[in-house]
C-alpha cells in the first residue's frame, strides 16, 4: 500500500514522519475513510470530540477503540520488561483521525514529550473560537488506564497548556486525558469557558450547534 511506504517510522524512538503536506492530507483522508466505512453510529465521533458534549465523547470512545484498532497492531513491540504498546501506534491512529478536521478549517498541532509517554494534540477553530487539548498516554498495565487518564488531564492544567496567550480568541475549551492499554482505554474530559476576568471556568458541556 502506498501510504505504508510514505510514512516512515523509527522503532527505536517511537516516532513517525510524514514527508510532506500532500501525503499528510492523503493519509488523513485514507484513515478517516477506512475507519469510517464501518463506523455506523460512530461515524461522527471526531466531530463530537471537538464539538461535544464531552461526556458523550467519553462514553463512545472506549467502544470505538475496541472496534477500530487492530489487536495485532497494539500488541507490536512488547518485550519481556514492558507490556506497554508503543505510543506511536495510538498516535498514528488518533492523529490520522483528527487531521481530517483540517478540511473543516481546524488547526491541528502535535507535540511529543521526549522523556514521557505522553503525546499532546491541540485543535483550534478560530471561526468557532473553540480549542481542544488532548494528552494521550500508553499505560503499562490495564488497571492503570483510569489513573493515567486522570493524570494526563491534570497535567494539561499543571503545565499550563491552556495558556490564554497561546489560545488567542478562544472562548471555549475542551480537554481530554486519554490512556490506552492494548484495546482497553479510558478517557477523562472537561469543558471550560473563558469568563470576564479571563479565567477558565469549568461548566457542563452544552455541545456546539452544527454549522
Total count of domains within the chain? 1
Q: Is residue 197 in some structural domain?
A: yes
Q: Is residue 211 in some structural domain?
A: no
User: What pLDDT is attached to residue 162?
Assistant: 86
Q: Is residue 109 in some structural domain?
A: yes
Q: Is residue 188 in some structural domain?
A: yes
- For residue range 4-29, what is the model confidence (pLDDT) as tens digits? 444 444 444 444 455 545 555 554 45
Q: For residue 187, which of 157, 153, 161 has the smallest C-alpha distance? A: 153
pLDDT at 46 exceeding the cut of 80:
yes
78-107 mean pLDDT? 77
Q: Is residue 6 in some structural domain?
A: yes
Distance CA 178, CA 48 (A): 15
pTM, two decimals, is: 0.77
Distance CA 178, CA 135 (A): 6
More confident residue, 73 or 127: 127
Number of helical (H) and strand (E) elements in the chain, helices listed first = 7, 8
Tell me how far the alpha carbon of residue 101 is from its chain's centroid: 12
Distance CA 63, CA 60 (A): 6
> Model confidence at 116, in pLDDT bands (50, 70, 90)?
low
Q: Is residue 209 in some structural domain?
A: no
CB 110 within 8 A of CB 48: no
- Bond into 53 cis (ω within 30): yes
- For residue range 128-147, what is the model confidence (pLDDT) as tens digits? 999 999 998 889 889 999 99
- For residue range 186-202, what is the model confidence (pLDDT) as tens digits? 999 999 999 999 999 99
**Residue 58's domain spans which residues?**
2-203
Q: What is the largest CA-CA distance in the chain?
A: 53
Bridge pairing between strands 107-112 and 118-125: antiparallel
Question: What percent of the chain has pLDDT above 70?
Answer: 71
Q: Is residue 189 in some structural domain?
A: yes
Bridge pairing between strands 130-138 and 172-181: parallel
Q: Is residue 208 in some structural domain?
A: no
53-73 mean pLDDT? 86
Question: What percent of the chain has pLDDT above 90?
Answer: 35
Amino acid at each position: 500500500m502506498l501510504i505504508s511506504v510514505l510514512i516512515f517510522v523509527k522503532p527505536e524512538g517511537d516516532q513517525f514522519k510524514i514527508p510532506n503536506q500532500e501525503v499528510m492530507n492523503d493519509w488523513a483522508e485514507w484513515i478517516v475513510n477506512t475507519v469510517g466505512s464501518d463506523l455506523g453510529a460512530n461515524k461522527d465521533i471526531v466531530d463530537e470530540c471537538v464539538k461535544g458534549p464531552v461526556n458523550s465523547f467519553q462514553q463512545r470512545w472506549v467502544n470505538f477503540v475496541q472496534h477500530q484498532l487492530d489487536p495485532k497492531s497494539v500488541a507490536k513491540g512488547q518485550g519481556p520488561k514492558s507490556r506497554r504498546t508503543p505510543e506511536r501506534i495510538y498516535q498514528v491512529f488518533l492523529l490520522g483521525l483528527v487531521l481530517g478536521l483540517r478540511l473543516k478549517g481546524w488547526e491541528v498541532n502535535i507535540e511529543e514529550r521526549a522523556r514521557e509517554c505522553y503525546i499532546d494534540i491541540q485543535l483550534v477553530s478560530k471561526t468557532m473560537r473553540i480549542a481542544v487539548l488532548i494528552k494521550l498516554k500508553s499505560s503499562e498495565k490495564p488497571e492503570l488506564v483510569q489513573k493515567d487518564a486522570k493524570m494526563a488531564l491534570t497535567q494539561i492544567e499543571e503545565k499550563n497548556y491552556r495558556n490564554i496567550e497561546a489560545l488567542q480568541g478562544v472562548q471555549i475549551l475542551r480537554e481530554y486525558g486519554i490512556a490506552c492499554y492494548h484495546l482497553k482505554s479510558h478517557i477523562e474530559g472537561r469543558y471550560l469557558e473563558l469568563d470576564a476576568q479571563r479565567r477558565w471556568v469549568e461548566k457542563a458541556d452544552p455541545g456546539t450547534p452544527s454549522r
